[in-house]
Structure 1
Amino acid sequence: MRRIFILSLITSLLYSCATTKIKKIRKETAQMLTESLFDNQFLGVFIYDPLNNDTILKYNSEKYFTPASTTKIATLYTVLKTLPKKIPALKYYTTADTIYIEGTGDPSFLHPYFKDSTALSFLKKYKNIKLYLNNFDSNAYGPGWAWEDYDAYFQPERSPFPIYGNVVSVYKNDSLTVTPSFFKKEVKVLMAPKAREHYENTFYYNPDKNDTLETPFIVDSTLVRTLLEKALNKKINLVNTFPKVEKQTVYSIPTDSVLKRMMAVSDNFLAEQLLILVSTTLSDTLSVTKAQQYILKNNLADLKQPPRWVDGSGLSRYNLFTPEAMVHILKKIYDEEPRERLFNLFPIVETLRAPTDSYGATNAPFIYAKSGSLGNVYCLSGYLLTKSGKTILFSFMNNHYKQPTAEIKKQMQLIFENLRDKY
């Protein structure tokens, strides 16, 4: 009895110490959030311990915020739950002498980074190719995208059969190199307010530039056919209908390679096209909305605060997520995916402090997270590894601030370091 009593007493004391420690961490974190830096802005925070099912801190965590590119976490989860290990490159049907093909939204086809030619090699075997492009039920631009960014590298058009990443790449060495070369005659070397005309595929390259310029081109059916013809060096016919048959699928590169790139460089084009790819596994119609509705109904029906989710990338300010909803999705990924895969897909955040800070990071990386930035918006959601070996899930959403983003990041880093060292 005495031994049981002593063990019970020790357990009680340990629990009491642990409770006191957590209370202290909560108090310290809350104090850091009361800094005047955060006064004139909208701030939402949710920090959660999945092992103990314990909320460490919540502040405005049930309110809706503009998530910016942290929206890609929802896109990531959708892909993880729906797409196979390899990207569906295209769907097809063959007759004796003809192949009918339709796009799946695969962004990797002849993409400047992936340079995948799986579908190209497959199509070279066929003499008669009929291309169907009427399976797309989304707009080229997402709801609320900035119209003035039509020529910006980060806002290529969405389409059913992307090619070359839907951008023209131009760089100057001894001479001007243009990819795809089809556009070379449309590139003018001169100073201009924009990199492309608004309503036509005429491009401008600053003669003083030394780096690669990537500019979205306007996508239409005739252009896609022409670019594909040039790549294959054979004639292609556009068709308005696809035979009502069971289609087969060609697969290309590993899905994780596209996801990793999307998360690492916050690639908006990849995010949008990945949701289109998801829809090709659900029906014959390619639709961003269809993919979003599916995952919200089937895998995220338990969200306490359902989001307003309008695109895959977070470019739109119409998107609205709560910090709690974001952590809820992070927990699902944490529970359902192997740790190695999870931390391979999420970018490592070395430090949020400026590299010139004398007290910069000197420890091993401990944050795996996705950031999101728009004007007056900075968000960060992901996983924090503590020195005690625990994994903490968190979502910070900063909206409507006017001070430098660097100051916001610096204060967040202090909070993260305190959690790392003491939790």
Structure 2
Amino acid sequence: MPVFLTMCRSLVVGILCVFALSLSAQVPASRATVLPPLPNPAWLAQLIQSSPVLRQHTVGVCLADAATGQQVFGLNEDRYFTPASTMKLFSLYAGLHLLPDSLPSLHYIVRPDTLLFWGTGDPTLLHGDVPSARAFNFLLHRPEKLVYAPVPCVNAYGPGWTWDDYNYYFQPERGPFPIYGHTVRFYARAGQPTPRVVPQFFKPLTQPAPAGLPNPEHDHVHRQELGNRFLVFPFTNNWVDETPFRTSSALLLQLLQDTLRRPIVPAVLRLRPQDSVRVLRGLAVDSLYRRMLRVSDNFLAEQLLLMCSSALRPDSLNTARVIQVMRRRYLQDLPDAPRWVDGSGLSRLNLVTPRTLVALLFKLHQEVPEPRLFDLLAAGGRQGTLRRTTYRDARGPWLWGKTGTLTNNHNLCGYVRTKSGRIVAFSFMNNNHVAETSTIRKEMERILIQVHERL
């Protein structure tokens, strides 16, 4: 019997060895091949420092091997820069850690004859670009009386935002229960006296601008600062304009009732011990992440942090709470602590070093499958804010990244696939430049092409 058992054991071991060898033979070459360490590109410092375009402003560059995190190049990489919209990568990282696979559309409690609901910050309700009908259909078909309870939320504008950008599409107000993306869309067609207005609720509040009214910014539509009156300037061609509207709980109720065509009663949120708070799930999170990162949507980024806040505590929405949790739980190992105050990067109070951005890119590359991660980002010559660049070849894009632009600041960070097959995480930051942004963009392109070809 012992001899028989020994033979069985030997047979099993032999089968397992053959199986293991067959599996190892199936490992893709790209994973089985270990590339040698990246060389230090000393030529890159000379390329940057000799550039007449980059000479008169502050430049910070950092490169690291995305597979190991090893830094291979740095120039002013430990100095703090205004990051602009590259801060959206921090918002993405918060969403990945604090939200499940689908967005929280709203919180609600069912009582005998009442549905009490309140916002989570989900921006997709009737949004023009990432629309969701989940909350709309839910509220439309509930048999109970609808009662809306506003919850404490952050200010409409973030700290350090530019107040006189209130009229522009890129700075809608933040809020706990957004509808229509907090913007009015105007569709003008040549030969028609007035544009089409969406939502139509604002059509009676829209009128032609008085003759002779100055229009120094060449706006299509101008909204009064503290109200919701919209002036449309004369037009002879087709255009589409998005203008933020001024938000309030009262206006939200009007818009919801006008859209749902059923009454909604306002109330104060008071939770009872027996209440069971439920969450209505909406769109897949990548639908929001993709739009936020590819086209650098500020509103989606701000609302993303509010949704993260609702996941931590459903009865209030607080951006600072999310930032504090992320710094304490997930970002303690960054080289330099970022100064992080909003979700979009609109604030000039945000400050980040190039090597910290690269460290964040390394964490993302480690935690998110590469195909998914690259699909969320703008891609060279293909999509988003990088669609008009030449960061691509016959095989497709070789650079995926996130741009960040404010007046006199233009940054780019992301990943470069080099001709040798490596993935390099990089951050290229330009602050306080007086040259045209297009000039800075072309110079970065010239230098990053060298990184692609020579590393």
Does the alignment reach a TM-score above 0.5? yes
- Is the Cα contact below 8 Å between 1:100 and 1:242 reproduced in 2? no
Query: Of 74, 91, 101, which aligns to 1:85?
Result: 101
* Counterpart amino acid of residue 226 in structure 1: Q
Choose the corresponding residue for 1:37, options 32, 38, 53.
53
Residue 259 of structure 1 pairs with residue 289 of structure 2? yes
C-alpha displacement of 1:361: 6.0
Q: Which residue, 167, 175, 183 being the options, matches 1:151?
A: 167
| Residue 406 of structure 1: how far off its partner (Å) | 2.5
Query: How many angstroms does 1:418 deviate by?
Result: 1.6
Report the Cα distance in structure 2 between the residues aligned to 1:345 and 1:114, rounded to whole angstroms: 14
Counterpart of 2:112 in structure 1 is 96
**Structure-1 residue corresponding to 2:195:** 176
Aligned counterparts of 1:61 and 1:297: Cα–Cα separation in 2: 23
Residue in 1 that maps onto 2:29: none
- 1:57/1:261 Cα in 2 relative to 1: closer, same or farther (>3 Å)? same
1:58 offset after TM fit, Å? Answer: 0.4
The DSSP-based 3-state class of the residue aligned with 2:375 is: helix
Alignment of structure 1 residues 113-192 onto 2, 5 Å: 113-124=129-140, 125-133=142-150, 135-173=151-189, 174=192, 176-190=195-209
- What CA distance in whole angstroms lies between the structure 2 residues aligned with 1:384 and 1:360? 9
SS in 2 for 1:372: strand
Mapping of residues 355-394 of structure 1, within 5 Å: 362-363=393-394, 364-394=396-426
What SS does structure 2 have at the residue aligned with 1:143?
coil
Q: Counterpart of 1:422 in structure 2: which amino acid?
A: R
Q: Partners of 2:332 and 2:170 in 1: how far apart?
A: 31
Aligned residue in 2 for 1:298: 329
Q: Kindly provide the CA deviation profile for residues 42-76 of structure 1, in whole angstroms up to 9, marking residues without a partner as x.
A: 11111001334432210111110000111111111
How high is the sequence identity, in percent, across the aligned residues?
Answer: 37
Quote the residue 1:199 is aligned against. Answer: 226
Aligned to 1:347: 378
Q: Which residue of 2 aligns with 1:229?
A: 257
1:230–1:43 CA distance, 2 compared to 1 (3 A): same
Q: CA deviation at 1:362?
A: 4.8
Partner of 1:28: 43
1:59/1:360 Cα in 2 relative to 1: closer, same or farther (>3 Å)? closer
Per the normalisation by structure 1, the TM-score is: 0.90
Q: Is the 8 A contact 1:279 1:290 kept in 2?
A: yes
Given that residues 392 and 398 in structure 2 are in contact (C-alpha distance below 8 angstroms), is that contact kept between their aligned partners in structure 1? no
Question: Could you say which residue in structure 2 is the equivalent of 1:10?
Answer: none
Q: CA deviation at 1:289?
A: 1.0
- Deviation at residue 354 of structure 1 after TM alignment: 11
Runs of 4+ in 1 over 4 A off after TM superposition: 351-355, 359-363
How many residues are treated as equivalent by the alignment?
Answer: 401
Distance 2:391 2:366 in 1: 32
Over the aligned positions, Cα root-mean-square deviation in angstroms equals: 2.2
CA–CA separation in structure 1 for the residues paired with 2:380 and 2:391: 13
Structure 2 distance, partners of 1:183, 1:259, is 29
Report Cα offsets for 1:126-155 as digits up to 9, x if no partner.
Answer: 34111011x233110001111111111110
Contact 1:353 1:410 in 2 (8 A): no
| CA distance in 2: counterparts of 1:354 and 1:126, whole angstroms | 47
Secondary structure, in 3 states, of the residue corresponding to 2:223? Answer: coil
Distance 1:136 1:266 in 2: 27
Counterpart pick for 2:368 among 320, 333, 337: 337
The higher radius of gyration belongs to 2
Shift of 1:213: 1.3
1:414 aligns with 2:446: yes
| Contact 1:168–1:183 under 8 Å retained in 2 | yes
Query: 1:190 offset after TM fit, Å?
Result: 2.5
Residues 334-383 of structure 1 deviation map (CA, whole Å, 9 limit, x = unaligned): 0001111101111102299997x9x9965431110000111110100101
Contact between 2:187 and 2:196, CA under 8 Å: does it hold in 1? yes
5+ residue gaps, structure 2, are 1-35, 216-220
Task: Determine the C-alpha separation between the residues in 2 that align with 1:54 and 1:213.
Answer: 45
Aligned to 2:303: 273
| In structure 1, C-alpha distance between the alignment counterparts of 2:222 and 2:101, rounded to whole Å | 37
Task: Check conservation: 2:104, 2:122, Cα contact below 8 A.
Answer: yes
| Secondary structure of 2:186 counterpart | strand
Report the more deviating stretch, 398-407 or 98-107.
Answer: 398-407
TM-score of the superposition, structure 2-length normalised? 0.84
Tell me how far apart the structure 1 counterparts of residues 282 and 257 of structure 2 sit (CA, whole Å): 20
Could you say if the C-alpha distance between residues 155 and 52 of structure 1 is closer, same or farther in structure 2, counting changes exceeding 3 Å? closer
2:429 aligned partner, one-letter code: M
Q: Which residue among 215, 223, 246 is the counterpart of 1:218?
A: 246
- Segments of 5+ residues of structure 1 without an aligned counterpart are 1-17
After superposition, what is the alpha-carbon deviation per residue over 1:310-333, rounded to whole angstroms, capped at 9, x for unaligned?
Answer: 111111111101111111111111
**Contact 2:153 2:175 (C-alpha < 8 Å) held by counterparts:** no
Q: Secondary structure of 2:96's partner?
A: helix
Kept in 2, the 8 Å contact 1:109–1:116? The answer is yes
Q: Provide the rounded CA distance (Å) in 1 between the counterparts of 2:436 and 2:129.
A: 32
Secondary structure of 2:78 counterpart: coil
2:432 counterpart (388, 397, 400)? 400
- Match of residue 308 from structure 1: 339
CA distance in 1, matches of 2:289, 2:66: 24
Judged with a 3 Å threshold, the aligned counterparts in structure 2 of structure 1 residues 414 and 185 are, in CA distance, closer, same or farther, namely: same
What is the aligned partner in structure 1 of residue 23 from structure 2? none
SS of structure 2 residue aligned to 1:58: strand
Q: Kindly tell me: are residues 170 and 52 of structure 1, through their superposed partners in 2, closer, same or farther at Cα, counting changes over 3 Å?
A: closer
The residue identity in structure 1 corresponding to 2:379 is: I
SS at match of 2:337: coil
Tell me if structure 2 keeps the 8 A contact 1:353–1:413.
no
